[in-house]
Amino acid sequence: MPEQDYLPPRPPAGSYAPGPYGPQDEDPPPWANLSPVRPAGPGGRGEPAGRGGRALRAAARRRRRWIVTLAGLAVAVGAVTAVLLLIGRPAPAPVVPGALITTFQPGELQQVPNACDSVPAATVQQYLPGKATVTSPLPVDGSAESACDWTINQAPVYRLLELNLLAYAPSGLASGNGSATFAAIDAYAAALQYLRNPPRDSPDPRATVTTISGFGNQAFSAVQVFRVGGAVTDVTTVVVRYHNAVVTVTLNGLQHSNRGDYGPVSTSQLLAAAMAFARAAEATLH
Partnered with residue 220 across adjacent β-strands are 211, 239
Does residue 7 sit within a domain? no
User: What average pLDDT score do residues 242-267 get?
Assistant: 93
Say if residue 18's pLDDT is above 70: no
Distance CA(222)–CA(218), nearest Å, equals 14
Classified as helix, coil or strand, 36 is: coil
Say if residue 199's pLDDT is above 80: yes
Say if residue 167's pLDDT is above 80: yes
Please give the share of the chain, as a percent, with pLDDT higher than 70: 66
pLDDT band for position 260 (50/70/90)? confident
Does residue 18 sit within a domain? no
CA quadruple 200, 205, 206, 207: dihedral sign: negative
Distance CA(184)–CA(176), nearest Å, equals 11
Does residue 203 sit within a domain? yes
The answer to whether 90 and 106 have CB atoms below 8 angstroms apart is: no
218: number of Cβ within 10 Å:
18
Does residue 2 sit within a domain? no
Does residue 39 sit within a domain? no
Distance CA(153)–CA(141), nearest Å, equals 30
The model carries a pTM of 0.73
Distance CA(59)–CA(113), nearest Å, equals 26
- DSSP-assigned letter for residue 168: -
Say if residue 192's pLDDT is above 50: yes
User: What average pLDDT score do residues 188-215 get?
Assistant: 96
Does residue 45 sit within a domain? no
Which burial class, exposed, middle or buried, applies to 66 when counting CB atoms under 10 A from its CB (0-12, 13-18, 19+)? buried
pLDDT of residue 32: 33
- DSSP-assigned letter for residue 229: T
State how many domains the chain has: 1
The angle, 0 to 180 degrees and rounded to 10, between the axes of the packed helices 180-196 and 50-73 is: 130
Does residue 263 sit within a domain? yes
Distance CA(131)–CA(49), nearest Å, equals 16
Residue 198 sits in which domain range? Answer: 50-96+109-283
DSSP string covering 99-146 = SPP-SPPTT--SS---GGGSS-HHHHHHHS-S--EEE-PPPSSGGGEE
DSSP string covering 11-31 = PPBTB---S---TTSPPPPTT
Say if residue 3's pLDDT is above 90: no
Does residue 80 sit within a domain? yes
pLDDT of residue 142: 82
